[in-house]
Chain A
């Protein structure tokens, strides 16, 4: 019973992080029908920017809550700016081109960012400081819950709720949903689609930076190829929930986190990734539009 509850807590923590990153994939896909392969790398770039803030300015002492908050803010701003620049340079010129051109451009962007990180920070594994958060733990029904886990779960819930309210209950959120359904019709209704796309490339990478920094703090490490690994998990989460569907990405993230935690807890860990990818293929076969996605006529 203790293991069971432990796996649920672990799964919810990782699932919250997946969901934050998956939102970036799904929002971009929803509006542009583009898999932003560079998204995972942007998120990990966020982890590196935050790490530099934390270790660079603390001078070895205790970073403190204010500095931790500052690291998050700087990281979010830096990655949101990077997302907007990326869209302007690599994706906007290709909006009317063959879709595969944009796919290859996104893959190029992923390679560029990943190896850019390696050139700046080096190929080694960077360790996050251990004293960022209180080491408090709680024991509930035989499971150990750490402060970090509570913080990640709460923060992702609050952020997801905020995003949900923003997209569903504000004028600009309505514009985003309209542009996702039909860009041309949205434009005819006076919606500035370029602004919507820019905003999606602010919100997605911004949330992704938080997710990336959470990964660094939770696993206490960062390395340049990490964006690929976690990006792929988050992407599977987005597909699981239904790509293009915002509540779907949240649900998919949490479910995949739980699935992974139980696969790691009860099945051999060397086949864990293979099981996750197997799940992905089964979903695609049985219900390609995901759990919450609606069937849309595909225009390729």
Chain B
């Protein structure tokens, strides 16, 4: 037998498989935290597609997460569409929103794109609060979202929902991993480094960037569906600008384009605060200081992408 080398992929697969056993080891409140970790990890990875890999400063990513959650909530509560059927629709509509909103903005670069996406986020939250057509439920949002069922099996328990989230996180991780190797991923990397050079070599910058936005938004929409199911309610306050800032910070603090970095960032920003719940008052104060400290000490992020990634 040749030497067994533990590379990133194998280690990741092992950790993921071990994660499947979490519901047997933890009580249900911890399983719910693990489920939220999986959901936010998908959202953060989807932000990484746009921000970390394509280099577009998207500071309104909570919009696509929110669209996914609202699509599932509205379809399920008003038309009784089964949850897992709403999932592809949530992804599709989020992707369409990502492509449509970004299309006119793609020529804007850097800070201007960042400011425009902040504007989108603010408008989205205000629109959900103002309850257009009576379908979003205003500031209170929508309650009573059903549970997903798979082959007639109701995924009712927290453990079952965790497994659903965890399996989908695994699929998203595979997508992200393959994104490194495929032509589209290479085009993104190239565009991020030098758009002019990439364009002269035949990369259609506009098309590739719009696709990146659509892909990132679709994955965020997927996470939105899972979020709506996990909470069984959605309201505008879950998709405010602060959430977008947190997602943005996760990618930069963890390491742009680095899967382990984004996962570590998610754990630090979403799981650690759950552990220190009693100190809720100090939470964001300490967060702010930590964000400054990490950036000053490690501006490239905690686990930066390795240069020689295949």
Point out residues on A near B: beta carbons under 8 Å. Answer: 33, 35, 89-90, 93-94, 97-105, 107-116, 118-119, 232, 235, 239, 243, 270-271, 273-274, 277-278, 280-281, 284-285, 288, 298, 300
Distance in Å: Cβ of A51 to nearest Cβ of chain B: 20
The residues of B that contact A89 with a CB separation of less than 8 Å are 292, 296
Question: Are B130 and A111 interface neighbours, CB within 8 A?
Answer: no
Give the complex CA separation of A109 and B290 in angstroms.
10
Question: Are A102 and B288 interface neighbours, CB within 8 A?
Answer: no
Question: Are A98 and B116 interface neighbours, CB within 8 A?
Answer: no
Given A35-B114, A281-B116, also A107-B122 (CB < 8 A): no
Given A103-B252, A115-B284, A288-B108, also A274-B295 (CB < 8 A): no
The 6 nearest A-B residue pairs measured at CB: A108-B291, A112-B288, A111-B288, A97-B299, A101-B299, A115-B285
Question: Are B281 and A119 interface neighbours, CB within 8 A?
Answer: yes
Question: Are A284 and B116 interface neighbours, CB within 8 A?
Answer: yes
Given A113-B288, A284-B108, also A98-B300 (CB < 8 A): yes
Question: Are A108 and B290 interface neighbours, CB within 8 A?
Answer: yes
The residues of B that contact A98 with a CB separation of less than 8 Å are 299-300
The residues of B that contact A100 with a CB separation of less than 8 Å are 51, 57, 252, 256
**A-contacting residues, B110-135, CB 8 Å:** 110-112, 114-116, 118-120, 122-123, 126-127, 129-130
Distance in Å: Cβ of A298 to nearest Cβ of chain B: 5
Question: Are A285 and B105 interface neighbours, CB within 8 A?
Answer: yes
The residues of B that contact A99 with a CB separation of less than 8 Å are 110
Point out residues on B near A: beta carbons under 8 Å. Answer: 51, 55, 57, 104-105, 108-112, 114-116, 118-120, 122-123, 126-127, 129-130, 245, 248-249, 252-253, 256, 281-285, 287-292, 295-296, 299-300
The residues of B that contact A112 with a CB separation of less than 8 Å are 285, 287-289, 292
Given A35-B114, A105-B291, A298-B110, also A278-B252 (CB < 8 A): no
Question: Are A108 and B287 interface neighbours, CB within 8 A?
Answer: yes
Give the complex CA separation of A99 and B51 in angstroms.
13
The residues of A that contact B300 with a CB separation of less than 8 Å are 97-98, 101
The residues of A that contact B245 with a CB separation of less than 8 Å are 107
Question: Are B57 and A274 interface neighbours, CB within 8 A?
Answer: no
The residue in chain B whose Cβ has the minimal distance to the Cβ of A111 is: B288
Given A277-B119, A288-B112, also A115-B296 (CB < 8 A): no
Given A108-B288, A109-B292, A288-B112, also A119-B248 (CB < 8 A): no
Question: Are A239 and B284 interface neighbours, CB within 8 A?
Answer: no
Q: Is the interface of B mostly helix, strand, loop or mixed?
A: helix
Which residue of A105, A270, A277 contacts B122 across the interface (Cβ within 8 Å)?
A277
Distance in Å: Cβ of A91 to nearest Cβ of chain B: 9
Distance in Å: Cβ of A231 to nearest Cβ of chain B: 11
Give the complex CA separation of A270 and B127 in angstroms.
9
Question: Are A108 and B111 interface neighbours, CB within 8 A?
Answer: no
Distance in Å: Cβ of A201 to nearest Cβ of chain B: 15
The residues of A that contact B129 with a CB separation of less than 8 Å are 270
Which residue of B105, B111, B115, B126 contacts A273 across the interface (Cβ within 8 Å)?
B126
Question: Are A108 and B108 interface neighbours, CB within 8 A?
Answer: no
The residue in chain A whose Cβ has the minimal distance to the Cβ of B290 is: A108
Give the complex CA separation of A226 and B127 in angstroms.
21
Give the complex CA separation of A105 and B253 in angstroms.
10
Distance in Å: Cβ of B140 to nearest Cβ of chain A: 15
Question: Are A281 and B119 interface neighbours, CB within 8 A?
Answer: yes
Give the complex CA separation of A33 and B109 in angstroms.
13
Question: Are A111 and B123 interface neighbours, CB within 8 A?
Answer: no
The residues of B that contact A271 with a CB separation of less than 8 Å are 126, 130
The residues of B that contact A300 with a CB separation of less than 8 Å are 55, 109-110
Give the complex CA separation of A35 and B245 in angstroms.
14
Q: What are 10 A-B contacts with C-beta separation under 8 Å?
A: A90-B292, A100-B57, A104-B253, A108-B290, A109-B292, A110-B288, A112-B287, A271-B130, A284-B112, A300-B110
Question: Are B296 and A94 interface neighbours, CB within 8 A?
Answer: yes
Question: Are A284 and B252 interface neighbours, CB within 8 A?
Answer: no
Given A104-B248, A280-B115, also A119-B296 (CB < 8 A): no
Give the complex CA separation of A207 and B105 in angstroms.
33
Give the complex CA separation of A281 and B245 in angstroms.
19
Give the complex CA separation of A111 and B127 in angstroms.
25
The residues of B that contact A111 with a CB separation of less than 8 Å are 284-285, 287-288, 291
Question: Are A274 and B122 interface neighbours, CB within 8 A?
Answer: yes
The residue in chain A whose Cβ has the minimal distance to the Cβ of B121 is: A277
Question: Are B120 and A90 interface neighbours, CB within 8 A?
Answer: no
